[in-house]
């Protein structure tokens, strides 16, 4: 049986009965006993145990884990358990969202950049300290060290103009053919400049449920053809809002002593995502809805749900920092002891 490579991350420590069941079973090859979906019926779907369980399931489709058999990726009972976790996750997100605003209304609102805000980029720019900036990069590393990979799953599920435009954006995300410019590599270089561990998955065990949920949502959308519209909505939200946030984070990191490598990732996004925003709105979303107008509600849901997930993470981080507490489950060495 195939075993994942030795340089891959270890399984994160469990945080409750479902993630404990998964980590226990994944430590050995599939043996026919199966996993039971009833394990997913209890617990808060947005809390630590179930979000970590989902993350473990999804990572089998990315790089996997050290010592975990590759056969687990498509093991039927694991997929059934993951499916029930996904259902509960989406139900919880829909309940918290309430009525989803119309797509055009959401897009127009995203194009208006408020002079002040409450998210992490505003906080770090205005009053952030170096330890808080390091925490923010650790939290975001769960996605940015595999940036664009979840969105790549939607490529074969689009066609024509929308597919061509999305591939053009993805091409930039992967460095335009230049390995040294791949965005995940730029993020790793930024982490190294701020004395962080650049290993893939290094901060999973330290990351709270809110950080896991951001990545889980895009993995969920990417792995299901029925949610291709939602994945486009999620990607649009990233590209439309990224450029102003990248400018704030660049200035914040410069103020906190980051070197050139410590700001290159965000400097790259200031210009690139300003172009991507136009492509996403006009060519990806516009062309997709010309061909499949029935997907408009799904695009709107993906945009709203991903915005909510990002908001929940941002609120958690800022609320922790305002109280002089770490936003991580396992604080970095320079975080306040309180």
Q: Describe the crossing of helices 209-223 and 296-322 by its angle, rounded to 10 degrees.
A: 160
Confidence (pLDDT) at 99 = 97
What's the predicted TM-score (pTM) here? 0.95
Determine the Cα–Cα distance for residues 18 and 333; give it in Å rounded to an integer.
30
Confidence (pLDDT) at 4 = 40
Give the position of tokens 């982490």. 191
What number is the average pLDDT over the span 198-223?
A: 98
Q: What's the mean per-residue pLDDT of the chain?
A: 94
Confidence (pLDDT) at 338 = 56
Which DSSP symbol is given to 33? Answer: -
Instruction: Find out whether 1 and 29 touch, Cβ atoms under 8 Å.
Output: yes
* Residue 46 clears pLDDT 60, i.e. is over it: yes
Determine the Cα–Cα distance for residues 115 and 332; give it in Å rounded to an integer.
31
Determine the Cα–Cα distance for residues 79 and 129; give it in Å rounded to an integer.
42
Determine the Cα–Cα distance for residues 274 and 308; give it in Å rounded to an integer.
22
Domains and CATH numbers, the chain: 17-97 (no CATH), 103-322 (1.20.910.10)
* Residue 83 clears pLDDT 50, i.e. is over it: yes
What number is the average pLDDT over the span 292-312?
A: 98
Instruction: Find out whether 61 and 152 touch, Cβ atoms under 8 Å.
Output: no
On the CB side of 259, how many CA atoms lie within 13 Å of its CA?
Answer: 9
Confidence (pLDDT) at 36 = 79
């Amino acid at each position: 049986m195939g075993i994942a490579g030795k340089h891959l991350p270890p399984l994160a420590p469990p945080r409750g009965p479902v993630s404990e069941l998964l980590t226990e079973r994944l430590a050995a090859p599939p043996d026919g006993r199966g996993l039971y979906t009833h394990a997913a019926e209890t617990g808060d779907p947005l809390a630590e145990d179930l979000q970590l369980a989902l993350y473990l399931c999804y990572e089998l489709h990315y790089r996997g884990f050290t010592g975990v058999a590759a056969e687990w990726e498509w093991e039927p009972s694991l997929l059934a358990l993951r499916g029930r976790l996904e259902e509960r996750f989406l139900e919880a997100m829909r309940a918290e969202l309430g009525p989803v605003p119309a797509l055009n209304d959401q897009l127009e609102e995203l194009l208006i950049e408020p002079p002040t805000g409450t998210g992490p980029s505003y906080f770090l720019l205005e009053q952030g300290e170096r330890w808080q900036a390091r925490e923010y990069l650790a939290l975001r590393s769960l996605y940015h060290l595999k940036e664009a990979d979840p969105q790549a799953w939607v490529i074969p599920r689009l066609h024509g103009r929308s597919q061509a435009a999305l591939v053009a954006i993805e091409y930039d995300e992967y460095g335009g053919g230049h390995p040294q410019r791949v965005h995940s590599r730029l993020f790793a270089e930024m982490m190294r400049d701020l004395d962080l561990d650049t290993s893939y998955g290094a901060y999973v065990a330290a990351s709270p449920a809110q950080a896991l949920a951001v990545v889980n949502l895009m993995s969920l959308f990417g792995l299901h053809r029925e949610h291709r519209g939602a994945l486009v909505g999620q990607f649009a939200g990233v590209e439309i809002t990224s450029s102003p946030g990248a400018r704030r984070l660049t200035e914040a990191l410069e103020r906190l002593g980051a070197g050139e490598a410590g700001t290159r990732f965000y400097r790259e996004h200031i210009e690139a995502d300003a172009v991507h925003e136009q492509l996403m709105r006009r060519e990806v979303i516009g062309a997709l809805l010309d061909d499949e107008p029935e997907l408009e509600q799904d695009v709107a849901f993906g945009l709203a749900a991903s915005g909510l997930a990002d908001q929940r993470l941002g609120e958690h981080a800022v609320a922790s920092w305002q109280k002089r507490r770490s936003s991580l489950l396992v604080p970095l060495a320079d975080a306040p002891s309180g």
